[in-house]
Amino acid sequence: MADIKRPQMKPHVEAIHAYVPGKSKSSDGRALVKLSANENPLGTSPLALDALGRTGKPSDYPDPDATALREAIANAHGLDPARIVCGTGSGELLGYAVQAFAGVGDEVLFSRFSFSLYPLLPLKVGAKGVMADNRDFAADVEALLDKVGPATRVVLLDNPNNPTGAYLPRGEVVRLHAGLPADVLLVVDQAYAEYLPDGVDDGGFALAGKYDNVLVTRTFSKAYGLAAERIGWATGAPDLIGALNRLRGPFNVTTSGQRAAIAALADQGFVRDSCEHNALARASFVSAIDALGNHGLRAVPSEANFVLVLFEGGVSAESAMHAIAEAGYAVRHLPGQGLPHALRITVGTAGQMAEIADTLRRLCEGGK
């Protein structure tokens, strides 16, 4: 076949299966309420919306260094703006963290039930993804450390975890870091950290402030309600930030995105409301699921804005997903992640969650 005359994709690129986003349509094409992508059911802070609406100067490139946004983030979290880099969503920055430190022959380690983007990141750079087993749907520090070898370059930890909602407390994160060689990068992906109760902190910022091998990522896509604008950020040692700055596009965060994020940071009341709403709606949904325990339904304890519901009795996750779609909602079935018996359901409004709970109750009780 020496005479094939077309561009030949690199095998490691061909091996990539594209990221599967949350659905918003039923199989017969009806629009569904999207509880499949962990978006904020309260929407966006009015201050951020106002900032988005203010006309800027679209003919000019954005501030390439997102200077004002980095300062606002630093102020909000007590960090050094020189140790912050902004990205087109934190997903982009996670990719650069892997690209900067892993390549052909290297390994990138993560837990079995963690962010579905993680297995794609090593593939993009020709590295190998390695999965460690979980314990009770949470990252297991022993299992992760067991998989660390001479080829390990990066460890990815989402905390709270997506799709299970499990949270690894500070002591466990410290133990994981302490067990890693100093030349292995630990990335603590805190996409859902805003949903943790007041005062609960996995210590990621403290580790990233102290050690050269810890990077923490955050996003404006979840509690801040700005997923459409694609804004995330990372903090860590100057060399880590330098690596990400080398790889990112020079104008990667738009002017409107920078402005909206600054306004969103200034409206902590909105974040608090989002959090309080989430805690209440999640608790009542979980008790509705608990009440169906005799039908084999079980909610994995969640610290995030979604609940992983396990179907371990006569009702399958698939039939539940169809019934929920009939009722008008898209939720996430994750057989590709080894969770054919589970649905990840984003916490929507109280009314939406009550309707989904009713749908599941009727399905369990065999009626309509």
Ligand X SMILES: *Cc1c(COP(=O)(O)O)cnc(C)c1O
Q: Please report, as ranges, the residues that interact with ligand X according to CB under 6 A.
A: 38, 89-91, 115, 158, 162, 189, 191, 219, 221-222, 227, 232
CB of 114 to ligand X, least distance (A): 7
With both helix axes pointing from N to C terminus, report the angle between 268-290 and 46-53 in degrees, rounded to the nearest 10: 130
- The CB-of-162 to ligand X minimum distance in angstroms stands at 4
The smaller minimum CB distance to ligand X, of residues 248 and 295, is found at 248
In whole angstroms, how close is the CB of 304 to ligand X at the nearest point? 8
Strands (E), the chain: 33-34, 84-87, 107-111, 128-132, 134-135, 138-139, 152-158, 185-189, 214-219, 232-236, 297-299, 306-311, 329-330, 332-334, 339-346
Phi, psi values for residue 147, rounded to 5°: -90, -5
3-state secondary structure of 267: coil
Contact, 196 vs 165, CB < 8 A? no
**318 strand-pairing partners:** none
- Cβ nearer to ligand X, comparing 122 with 363: 122
Beta carbon of residue 167, minimum distance to ligand X (angstroms, whole number): 12
Nearer to ligand X, 215 or 292 (CB): 215
For ligand X, give the closer residue by CB, 119 or 297: 119
State in angstroms the smallest separation of the CB of 275 from ligand X.
Answer: 16
Q: How far is the CB of 330 from ligand X (least distance, A)?
A: 16
Q: Which amino acid is at 158?
A: D
CB of 88 or CB of 359, closer to ligand X:
88
* Residue 221 or 337 with smaller CB distance to ligand X: 221
C-beta of 122 vs 232, nearer to ligand X: 232
| Residue among 172 and 194 whose Cβ is closer to ligand X | 194
Residue 349 in tokens: 């409004």
- The half-sphere exposure of 352 on its side-chain side, counting CA atoms within 13 A, is 22
Asked if residue 46 has a cis previous peptide bond (ω within 30° of 0), the answer is: no
Q: Which long-range contacts (CB under 8 A, 24 or more apart) does 314-321 make?
A: 315/360, 315/363, 315/364, 316/341, 317/341, 317/342, 317/343, 319/363, 320/360, 320/363
CB 43 within 8 A of CB 273: no
Q: Which of 167, 156, 164 is nearest to 202 (CA)?
A: 167
Closest CA to 325 of 97, 23, 51: 23
Nearer to ligand X, 88 or 352 (CB): 88
Residue nearest ligand X by beta-carbon distance: 89
Burial of 19 (0-12, 13-18, 19+ CB in 10 A): exposed
Shortest separation between residue 150's beta carbon and ligand X, angstroms: 28
Q: H-helix or E-strand containing 286?
A: helix 268-290
Q: Residue 159 Cβ, how far from ligand X at the closest point, in Å?
A: 9
